[in-house]
Structure 1
Amino acid sequence: MLKDIPKLVSELNENDLIYILTFNRDSDNNFISYTEGIEMIVKYTNVPIYGSWDFYLNKGIVGGKITAGFLQGATAAKQALQFLKGEPIDNIDIILDGASEYMFDYHFLTRNNVNINELPKDSIIINRPEKFLEKYQSVLLNIFVSLFILVLAILYKAKQKESSMRANYTQRLESKVKERTIKLKEANQKLEWLSNIDGLTQIFNRRYFDTVLSQELLNHQKSKETLVLMICDIDYFKRYNDTYGHLAGDDCIKMVASILKAHCKKNTEIVARYGGEEFALIMPKTSHNEAKERAEAIRLSIADKALPHQSSDLGDFVSISIGVAVMNATKTTTIENIIGLADEALYKSKNSGRNKTTVKSN
């Protein structure tokens, strides 16, 4: 039974693992999609989870040598073109292992204490955090080299000037250095900003969300005021992509992001792309009632857009499910506590029919 899954997976021990098939049905013949199934399993177990397809990545599986849908399609298309160009069928190679790659999820590698250095060479690792200096090493190097060359040139010219011109030249030199310093500062600030922004939606990314949530939790532990975390998920988004295509899916994600950003009322509030079709909104010093009202306002704003979604079980338009955590932070409260509470609320909204708001308090 679907309802028995949380209990079953929570009772597994450290010597067990879970392997998820693409399609599943429970004893009542109810279909369980891979998205719904893996969300439920990840929530209630700590044992490693494996699957055979790359669409499980970023949803809870550790990884391994798994089938890459895009690579599989590209391989099949290549063979089809050979056939269409008149190549005899006997001359077309049979490919037994052309659509699999070593792919892993960094979050679940670390969760299961897997040493990354022991993975096969050329493995693909998603969600691996990039250090700022590693990401922009070449840009920073060019900046520092240019500055060094400029300083050398200025020093060389300064030595060629007559003593009567030195005072005037020094003044101009200081002005140039000041201007260059300002430009360098502006460039560094721009690079820092870009490292915190999600490329598709232009709202904050998961990296910046983690940083802000950690700082806000410390602030609220001191002030003892309530901290609200809202997590939103677009209903049946996989079906939306399958029906309208990924470009339309990107537009749908950008539309939801813009609405969430418009609902940030205070300078201290941020909205971030939490992952895929999920978004998170941090609302410091917000009451239970206000959090519920604002979540409902967001949900209704999405509905008012009336973006067509003919594959949804909820109607003809795009909708979202929302989970809201209202946390009275104490010294022992952790980031995992507040995210876990918001996840529970979101799961309840989705499990009770979707297109709903659920608020939970600690």
Structure 2
Amino acid sequence: MITSEITPQIDPDILEANSSIHPDVTIVVVPRERFQFAQESLESLYEHTSMPFRLVYVDNNSPAKLRQYLAAQSIEKGFQLIRSQHFLSPNQARNLGLAQVQSKYVVFVDNDVIFSPGWLEALVACTEETGATVVGSLVCQYRPLHTIVHCAGGEYMPPDEYAKFIQGEPALPPETGGKWRIQEKTHFQNRKIAEVREHLKRQPTGFVEFHTMLVRREIFDQIGPLDEGFSCTKEYLDFCMLVVRAGGSVYLEPTSVVTFLTHPPAPALHWSDLPYFMVRWSDAWERDSLLHFQQKWDLVDSKYFLKRFKKLGRRRREEMIHPLVERFSFLGTTSRKWLEKRLVALEKQLNRWVSATLGGTASPSQSG
């Protein structure tokens, strides 16, 4: 069984002062894929968030140095720190934090996000002015910060099929082997904000991603907690699909701007991040998530899934294998390809062992 503990003992008066100023917002921070940007992200959160909030931080078995830093910061800043002694999937970590939320809104944040001033106020303004159930920020990628679009909302079905999906009506004939077809499209990805600014408006959208996502907490009374069958990928699609099926709405708020720092090609991994990174992007977790997504929603076995099954392990190759092969640039192209092929085969064997040893699937429980 995976257990977690709330540490350290925080003065109740500090927590009360922090939560009573503005009880409407609780931010839940969870690890995305590594820990190396966690300190920079937390400092950015406090620097660029002027609206009062309560913070619940899920420390997902982080390295010792970061663990000590978070413990000290939780006392200094007065936030609630939950520590898991084992690696959790992102949705497991979010649910652990969600269980502590009593406020009107919960804002899920990944630990590799850098914020711009007013990001939280913009999310809250959107939900209060539109009644949106879910609101996502304009998410950017890379440095310089807040420049290149990663996700400005997106769609996952053609309009006619989406309309049927919302009503629970099959959009495809029985012989296709499923009721709906996923065709995921992320708006303006890899474009400069300056080039598409006129198109970036507050608007309903099919999905937003969990990098920074505001949710009305009451929706969980209808749909239950986040689905922990999604260990690795497509959890944002699943959640947004559940929300609209329950009668809710999803909005993009482009005046809330953040940047996440680990979009490939990302900065080099720290050695201490390798264990979680390998579990987080393991073949087993990714395969299981895709199969769960397909089966849960009765989705056809389309090119969308075939392409993703074929690319299992891509993130590990990008961050672990390719940088290693590049060190042998003095070799010819044929030799480098031979080397990469052998390294990929060895890494896959190692990944099976790592995911079996460190990537347990038991749901977390909490003590403390």
Tell me the TM-score normalized by structure 2. Answer: 0.27
Q: Rg larger in 1 or in 2?
A: 1
The TM-score normalised by the length of structure 1 is 0.27
RCO comparison, higher one (Cα < 8 Å, 6+): 2
